[in-house]
Structure 1
Amino acid sequence: MNFIYHTKTAFRAIIHNWKPTILLVISMSIGLVTFILVSAYVTYEQVYDKDFPDSENIFRIVTDVYSHGELIISKPECERALGTVLTENFPEVLDAGFLAGTNNPQYKIGENIFNDQHVYHASPRFLDIFSIRLLQGNPSEVLRQPYTVLLSEATARKYFGNENPVGKTILKYPAFEYRVEGVFRDISEQAHFRANMLLSFHDQMHLPPPVKDLWGETVFYTYLKIKPGTDLSDLENKMNQLVLSHKKGDFEESNLLHQYHLQALHDIHLHSHLSDELQPNAHASYVYLLLVISLLVVVAAGLNYVHFSFAKSLNNAVNTALRKVVGASCSTLVWQSFLESLIIHVASIAVALVVCFLLAPYIQHQFQITVDFSFRNQLFWIGLAVILSLSAIANGIISGLLIGRYNSLELFRLKYTPLASGISFRQLFVAVQFVIVIFIIVAILGINKQLIFLKEKGTGMNIENTLVVKIPQNMRRTSSRINNLDVFEQEMIRNPNVQGITQSSRIPGELPAFNFSFSEKGTGRSGKAAVLVTGLDYFKIFQISFLAGEDLGASTNRNAGCIINQSCLAALGYNNPEGAVGKILNLQDESGFQNLELVVKGVCADFNFRGMREKPGPMIFFDWTENMVWGNYLVKLHSNNQASVIPFIHEKFRATFPNFPFEYLVLEDFYNQQFYREKHLLIMLQAFVLVAIVISTINLFAMAWFIAIARTKEIGIRKVNGARVTEVILMLNRDFVKWVAIAFVIAIPLAYFAMKKWLENFAYKTELSWWIFALAGLLALGIALLTVSWQSWKAATRNPVEALRYE
């Protein structure tokens, strides 16, 4: 009965004070919307790869490649034999399997010609390690014969409909037919890899010899299932000793060394950013930063509740005093306050969930993130229930205790009692809120300045107005599947919108092949370099400057010459670029199958091929396009008028490559994808700062309202004694300015330290200019003054008779 009574009383109090109630619901809803969206995203990211059975015992082998004792590259791949040898030699390794990339992404099923980057060669044991379930096919037989393939459920449905695909053939360009052996259940979207098709890997297949060599190239993504309780550091030591026993001679000959370590499957998505990842991973620091900020927003909204609730109780102090006179205890007031808090929180969560469901598609499209509200995301719903419960209980009890601690006589006088001097928790929280606001504003300005700096900084190459047309890889120009490639190139050049055309094995923004070591013939100078096959006019099209020598196009024997960059020159120990021209380099891949002897024809300046996060490393360029095509045509346009050129290129492409899908991309857009995480973080921080400003504004409004109520008598006396309106406004605003200034002093060193740490991720860094911090402080001060000045003006222009008539 008491519960019903208190509930009715709580509803009456809420309805009676409907204006502050609406503000409270808005404030709490904003905080909860922020937390719900971010926590749904964070929990989605945290459960990557956890759908696989026994996933906590699955590890990936990572290879660190050292040249002359210096770490050159870290990648999540190793040699083909390593996984098998580990299972044979160490009982703690229960199983091993691998994935390997394919050299051509073009396929044909029936009349469907398509590109698919999510196709891999796989060992049979790979299916067992990840417990990939077959819907069709015999698990003990699949992927054991050459030229066989498994399709994902979605791929089978897409290309075969309801027809049974087993026994059908798939053409993999240029001329290999794969027989479908089975269909596997779609792999979870929350996996660090996607696989639409899995191809067999067999020694009788037509594959490059360096790849088929057991201890050849490190291009196999190898996974181990390890016995629980295994000492991983001990296993890593034994693994390194085992490889050394097989490859010691190769390491000594090439002046290279491989070091291997194990990476937990659960660590890959959030904590792994190696070269050649199967797909882009999330940054744990960014994910947790967003979660922390969203929690701070919820705390800010909760303390707003306390402020408003106390200010409301202060305004109704006389009514509360009368209730105490007739027998209401402190616990009764706390209980009613809790019920009011519960009602407001239920209303807020209802509003917040509706808003979140409406915003979710926009958020996912705008920020390229996934927010998971499904009930399978139990971590999210548990977290939300805990946060909501804590907020409702804490806010309700605190609000009740703040007013319940006064006796009835104090409550009769409380409305017009001046505020106590000194520091209150409300003032401290104003400072904390503006520390958050200033910190986020500095982060936004700093990140934006860094991105602008990187885009405007010269990369050493001109990639503007360049289209990349995808063509077959590693195919002879004279292949019957290509119709007169010379005519295609000539037609491109004749187009008045086309400035030039060339080929390359990789395009700027990609990782070039990094499996070659080089040494100068007759000397001990050597190193590890990225190699790139380029066509004629490559350096001319990208406007890459030469320090010495000549372009490959000027050479009488294109196949025998190479170009090295400035970093490669330094690795060879030359200070004068002219000194390296004419020298002979021996190039050898990891497997030892490819041994090249090339004459240095020229030295080019360093340019940022892969991206702006790292400084350029040694690179070697050679032209093997006379007889082969290498996957990419680079078409340089005179202007950014792509729309008029693309139909022309499409038409000529269809005539030249009739059996291949037409695919192109804008090179500058592709290259700038390296900044997509920072761009999304920037957009999210902009949304956060708007939310933080709104909540801070509501909080300041509550504070100003509270102060105006508490100092009503004081203001009335001052006005009776001749105080002007501006003097009263300045008096009321002074405290807020002081606490914003304190927030500025606290926030600046924190923001400076955080931005300095973040900038360490980049090889090229902008300066953290003083104006970034000054502007953040001025914006925070402007927000504070605009918010409180309205309430201060209302208090200053009020008739003093209203304040003094009760005295």
Structure 2
Amino acid sequence: MLTNYLKIAWRTLLKQRGFTFINIFGLAVGLACCMLIMLYVLDELSYDRYNEKADRIYRVNSEILFGGNNMHFAVSPDPMGPTLKKDYPQVEQFVRLHQRGTWLVRKAGESTNLRESDITFADSTLFDVFTLPLISGDPKTALREPNTVVISESAAKRHFGDQNPMGQSLLFDNNRTFKVSGVMRDMPKNAHFQSNFFLTMLNDDYPWGQWLSNNHHTYILLKPGTNPETFAKNLDAVVRKYVGPQAMQMLNLSMDDFRKAGNHIYYWLIPLTKIHLHSRQQIELAPNGDIQYVYIFSAVALFILLIACINFMNLATARSANRAKEVGVRKVMGSERQQLIGQFMTESILTTTLAMLLAVFMVGLTLPAFNAIAAKGLAINQLFSPYYLPVLIVLPVIVGLLAGSYPALFLSSFQPIKVLKGKINVSFRSAGLRSGLVVFQFMMSVILIVGTIIVYRQITFIQTKNVGFNRDHVLTVNDVYAIGKQAETFRQEVLRLPGVVTGSVSGYLPTPSSRGDNTFFAEGQIDMNKGVSMQNWPVDYNYIKTMGMQLVQGRDFSKEFGADSSGIIINESALKILGLKDPIGKRIWTFDDPQLKNRKMYTIIGIVKNFHFESLRQNIGGLSMVLSPNSGAASFRISSNDLPALIKQIEAKWKQVAPGQPFSYQFMDQSFDEMYRAEQRVGTIALTFAVLAVLIACLGLFGLAAFMAEQRTKEIGVRKVLGASVGSIVTLLSKDFLKLVAISILIASPIAWYAMNQWLNDFAYKIDIEWWMFAVAGLVAVGIALLTVSFQSVKAALTNPVKSLRSE
């Protein structure tokens, strides 16, 4: 029986080639989109689950409201981990990570450095908490001795080639030697942080014991059976027992008074497996994903698949008139309804199976481009793994049953007597279900179009917004600290080059860079309402000029004023929180040592206009600048028509003062855009899927329009004989579809507004959703639908009426 079903199904598909192509191609595109997004979503959901103890690992996050800032940190005080392990038996182990970013590294005895990123100090308990298999070395002792480092397999190949790296030495930043005590396998890509070098925490130059400083990523491993929600309640006791005394020493206030003033210090736990998608804290180890995008893309995949299935249902039921007599004859010959349903379901599943094969081929072709857009490393062979292969087998059956169920039930329900007498009427205008499905298709398409417009408008807004500094034409040279005291010499040499306007040496930049927080108070008081917790940046005399920032009061740092070493420039946000009137010349102070004993007094010499030094997702907080050496990077404002030549000249100057040191640079506008790379990826993916959704919907509309024209051949012929024009016939055939598209626009608009308003709420600075965005999306949908339908309408309208009437 099944063989017979397959033979008939195959012959039917070959007989109706145009119909078959539309169905298979539309379903293939839908399935390919679904598979791509499935790979993406499952990869996002897999982060950190490779850890054998992932379900018991938690990170301690901090939330601090003080000094006008509400700070949400992925870090906590350095004593947090050891204290929790000591005071609470529920904690099996802890590990702290202190990421130090990019350093210059070379094998001992060699002269050329390599620029290595993701260098991290870690406790010796690292391998007790995380699953990081070692190829060489003992995980229990690898980081217990001073001056030891565990490196990744790829780092070992870069620095030692085929040699055994164990026991050999690496020089970090030209002055710190570490012995290789372990080689680990490269960390999986689906980890929320990456590191090629784990240096022992014993060598981290840090003033330990600071409960009021948050600089370490602290992970705890709870013992089996421990309830994390119950355990987290102990963190408030930690605040009172340990944080409170240091707060009293600094502020001369109890924790109760501190909280009564509207401030708070709060610690909480986040599960390891939720960090990548659910954590948007400051000072993350690496940029995280967003569960919102997982939901969005999953919904898009479902919508596109539904649109493709709807096409199948629409076209199958629309062409029911062509198969009505077949059904009638079969029933007269003794076929039962179950057999007819089996026949039509076999055709449906065969169609979806062919579509699946084509979809896998499409995924193979498009996966490299998708990886480039989504910043992933997905591979086509993942689809054939034991995890995915059952989905590939089951999915076409499910889709075939879903898409073919209604047509099979509809066609098998025909009464043979009525069919053979020609009394079955399946005209387009009476097909309420098909109309509803067309509305649904275009509703989804309009939502995707509106979403794409708004995402791109927000990205454009970010890229063109006046952020308070001029990020254009600023070239930043990295790792200037490597040349030590010659940093100023390098700056002076570059300034002599034609095309270089000005230059500054400081690693604190208004794009992703190093950060430092201090709490400042007005002279003579500690006032909870006037203290300000703000960024504190060491800069040089040329910093504000080079960055194109604006002073609204006072002056810039100047060599003409010797007292500027104790001068400070604050931004407008800091001034507002301090509440100072006539601030120029007023003094503010902060603690100048980790033990909170010595105070450092500064005189306000200038107020800089607020500028965005964090993402536009956040409001502008307080910021200060002080005159102090910091050679993390050198930034130059340039004006040249031949940038490649100028960069080569700057590189030559670098090699003169830094032989053997790699020359690394980037433009500041590119660094700024890096903060919004996720949004740019979402915009590109949204645009791609919006186009595909519209394409699939139009394929179905094209097929329906062809069927409609075929069904009304006689009517068109009569109208032309009676004098109807081509334009009137095209209007007659198109208006039904345009009504459906108009209804879809009305339904989609409020849904799209709500969804995109929720997305925009993540940004402190955002665009307004305006009416014209919906109008553009509607016009695009109407235009595409009109073009699709008009092709068949015009073709029908131009047909010779004699042929039309004769064909009837």
Specify if TM > 0.5. Answer: yes
Secondary structure at 1:557 match in 2: helix
1:76 is aligned to: 74
2:357 is equivalent to residue 358 of structure 1: no
**Distance verdict in 2 for CA 1:511–1:231, change over 3 Å:** farther
**Distance verdict in 2 for CA 1:483–1:698, change over 3 Å:** same
1:534 is aligned to: 539
- Aligned counterparts, 1:465-484, within 5 A: 465-473=473-481, 482=484, 484=486
1:654-708 CA-to-partner distances (Å, cap 9, x unmatched) read 2222343211111111111122111111111111121111111111122223333
**Distance verdict in 2 for CA 1:622–1:246, change over 3 Å:** same
Distance in 2 between residues matched to 1:673 and 1:356, nearest whole Å: 28
1:738 is aligned to: 739
Distance in 1 between residues matched to 2:595 and 2:677, nearest whole Å: 36
Distance in 2 between residues matched to 1:209 and 1:120, nearest whole Å: 13
1:515 is aligned to: 517
1:601-650 CA-to-partner distances (Å, cap 9, x unmatched) read 2111111122322221110101112xxx4301011102464312211111
2:225 is equivalent to residue 225 of structure 1: no
2:16 is aligned to: 17
Match of 1:613 among 614, 617, 622: 617
| 2:58 partner amino acid | F
2:49 is equivalent to residue 50 of structure 1: yes
Conservation of the 8 A alpha-carbon contact between 2:324 and 2:414: no
Distance in 2 between residues matched to 1:171 and 1:10, nearest whole Å: 71
Deviates more, 1:509-518 or 1:591-600: 591-600
Distance in 1 between residues matched to 2:636 and 2:522, nearest whole Å: 34
Distance in 2 between residues matched to 1:402 and 1:802, nearest whole Å: 32
**Distance verdict in 2 for CA 1:91–1:419, change over 3 Å:** same
Q: Structure 1-normalised TM-score?
A: 0.93
Distance in 2 between residues matched to 1:500 and 1:51, nearest whole Å: 49
2:278 is equivalent to residue 276 of structure 1: no
2:255 is aligned to: none
Distance in 2 between residues matched to 1:344 and 1:27, nearest whole Å: 11
Q: Structure 2-normalised TM-score?
A: 0.93
1:226-259 CA-to-partner distances (Å, cap 9, x unmatched) read 1344333332221221232112132242467431
CA apart distance, 1:371: 3.0
Please give the root-mean-square deviation of Cα atoms over the aligned residues, in Å: 2.4
1:566 is aligned to: 572
1:173 is aligned to: 173
Conservation of the 8 A alpha-carbon contact between 2:102 and 2:118: no
1:243 is aligned to: 239
| 1:233 partner amino acid | E
Distance in 2 between residues matched to 1:605 and 1:98, nearest whole Å: 38
2:209 is equivalent to residue 213 of structure 1: yes
Distance in 2 between residues matched to 1:590 and 1:276, nearest whole Å: 20
| 1:487 partner amino acid | T
1:478 is aligned to: none
- Aligned counterparts, 1:297-316, within 5 A: 297-316=304-323
Distance in 1 between residues matched to 2:102 and 2:709, nearest whole Å: 73
2:416 is equivalent to residue 408 of structure 1: yes
Distance in 1 between residues matched to 2:767 and 2:128, nearest whole Å: 49
1:512-561 CA-to-partner distances (Å, cap 9, x unmatched) read 52431111121333120111111111111222221222211243133211
Conservation of the 8 A alpha-carbon contact between 1:314 and 1:414: no
Distance in 2 between residues matched to 1:81 and 1:739, nearest whole Å: 65
**Distance verdict in 2 for CA 1:424–1:561, change over 3 Å:** same
Match of 2:292 among 285, 294, 301: 285
1:264-290 CA-to-partner distances (Å, cap 9, x unmatched) read 111111111111111111111112211
2:254 is aligned to: none
Deviates more, 1:279-288 or 1:152-161: 152-161
**Distance verdict in 2 for CA 1:261–1:378, change over 3 Å:** farther
Distance in 2 between residues matched to 1:569 and 1:324, nearest whole Å: 87
1:56-107 CA-to-partner distances (Å, cap 9, x unmatched) read 1111110112205x65211111122211211222222121111112276121
**Distance verdict in 2 for CA 1:757–1:130, change over 3 Å:** same
1:264 is aligned to: 271
2:351 is equivalent to residue 349 of structure 1: no
Distance in 1 between residues matched to 2:697 and 2:724, nearest whole Å: 30
Distance in 1 between residues matched to 2:373 and 2:752, nearest whole Å: 26
Conservation of the 8 A alpha-carbon contact between 1:40 and 1:380: no
Secondary structure at 2:698 match in 1: helix
2:546 is equivalent to residue 547 of structure 1: no
1:318 is aligned to: 325
**Which consecutive residues of structure 1, in runs of 5 or more, have no partner in the other structure?**
476-480
Conservation of the 8 A alpha-carbon contact between 1:58 and 1:225: yes
1:399 is aligned to: 407
1:374-408 CA-to-partner distances (Å, cap 9, x unmatched) read 26865544544443221112223322222111022
Aligned-residue sequence identity (percent) comes to: 27
Conservation of the 8 A alpha-carbon contact between 1:60 and 1:222: yes
**Distance verdict in 2 for CA 1:90–1:487, change over 3 Å:** closer
2:7 is equivalent to residue 8 of structure 1: yes
| 1:537 partner amino acid | N
CA apart distance, 1:304: 0.9
Conservation of the 8 A alpha-carbon contact between 2:60 and 2:268: yes
CA apart distance, 1:21: 1.0
**Distance verdict in 2 for CA 1:79–1:505, change over 3 Å:** same
Secondary structure at 1:275 match in 2: coil
1:779 is aligned to: 780
1:99 is aligned to: 97
Distance in 1 between residues matched to 2:170 and 2:588, nearest whole Å: 44
Secondary structure at 2:243 match in 1: helix
CA apart distance, 1:8: 1.2
1:189-236 CA-to-partner distances (Å, cap 9, x unmatched) read 11101111110011xx4x4442x3364632111111113443333322
Match of 2:472 among 443, 464, 472: 464
Match of 2:446 among 417, 438, 442: 438
| 2:117 partner amino acid | Q
2:756 is aligned to: 755
1:10-67 CA-to-partner distances (Å, cap 9, x unmatched) read 1111111122111211111111111111111111111111111021111111011220
| 2:676 partner amino acid | F
- Aligned counterparts, 1:643-682, within 5 A: 643-682=644-683
| 2:456 partner amino acid | N
**Distance verdict in 2 for CA 1:103–1:353, change over 3 Å:** closer
2:517 is equivalent to residue 504 of structure 1: no
**Distance verdict in 2 for CA 1:512–1:160, change over 3 Å:** closer
| 1:509 partner amino acid | T
Match of 1:424 among 425, 432, 457: 432
1:28 is aligned to: 27
Conservation of the 8 A alpha-carbon contact between 1:306 and 1:395: yes
Secondary structure at 1:579 match in 2: coil
Conservation of the 8 A alpha-carbon contact between 1:512 and 1:532: no
Distance in 2 between residues matched to 1:692 and 1:387, nearest whole Å: 19
Distance in 2 between residues matched to 1:35 and 1:426, nearest whole Å: 23
1:317-351 CA-to-partner distances (Å, cap 9, x unmatched) read 33333233222222222212122222222211111
Conservation of the 8 A alpha-carbon contact between 1:41 and 1:372: no
CA apart distance, 1:592: 3.3
| 2:703 partner amino acid | A
> How many residues in Structure 1 have an aligned counterpart in Structure 2?
790
Secondary structure at 1:170 match in 2: strand
**Distance verdict in 2 for CA 1:209–1:9, change over 3 Å:** closer
**Distance verdict in 2 for CA 1:552–1:382, change over 3 Å:** farther
| 1:393 partner amino acid | L
- Aligned counterparts, 1:154-169, within 5 A: 154-169=154-169
Conservation of the 8 A alpha-carbon contact between 1:470 and 1:662: yes
**Distance verdict in 2 for CA 1:650–1:734, change over 3 Å:** same
**Distance verdict in 2 for CA 1:589–1:73, change over 3 Å:** farther
Secondary structure at 1:513 match in 2: coil
